[in-house]
């Protein structure tokens, strides 16, 4: 199912602090059950000092738009955009 929103990270202000990665409940569940995060199970990660969202079509669990990372980011670097639903 296509995602109905997108997370945008402002690369100019993101410090790569990892708060979004660790505050995300979906990431947390994967960490708890699999004890690691990678591009296959995480919905948001940090690479080269910048966070980036990961959406994989048909994956069992994708970002559900809960907005916790948006609230927790100390840099206010994350915004959520709702896609137009036709």
- Contact footprint for ligand SF4 (CB under 6 A): 9, 14-20, 24, 26, 43-44, 46, 51, 63-69, 73, 75, 77-78
What distance in Å separates the CA atoms of residue 61 and residue 66, rounded to the nearest whole number? 13
CB nearer to ligand SF4: give 14 or 37. 14
- Nearest Cα neighbor of 83 from 2, 3, 5, 1 is 5
Tell me how far the alpha carbon of residue 24 is from its chain's centroid: 7
Residue 72 Cβ vs ligand SF4, minimum distance, rounded to whole Å: 6
Strand, helix or coil for residue 72 = helix
CB nearer to ligand SF4: give 35 or 48. 48
Residue 54 Cβ vs ligand SF4, minimum distance, rounded to whole Å: 9
* Residue carrying structure tokens 């979906």: 26
CB nearer to ligand SF4: give 37 or 44. 44
């Amino acid at each position: 199912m296509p995602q109905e929103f997108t997370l945008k990270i402002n690369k100019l202000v993101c410090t790569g602090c990892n708060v979004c990665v660790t505050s995300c409940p979906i990431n947390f569940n994967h960490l708890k059950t699999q004890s690691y995060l990678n591009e296959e199970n995480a919905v948001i990660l940090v690479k080269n000092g910048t966070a980036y969202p990961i959406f994989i079509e048909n994956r069992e669990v994708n970002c559900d738009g809960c907005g916790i990372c948006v609230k927790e980011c100390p840099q206010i670097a994350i915004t959520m955009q709702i896609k137009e639903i036709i």
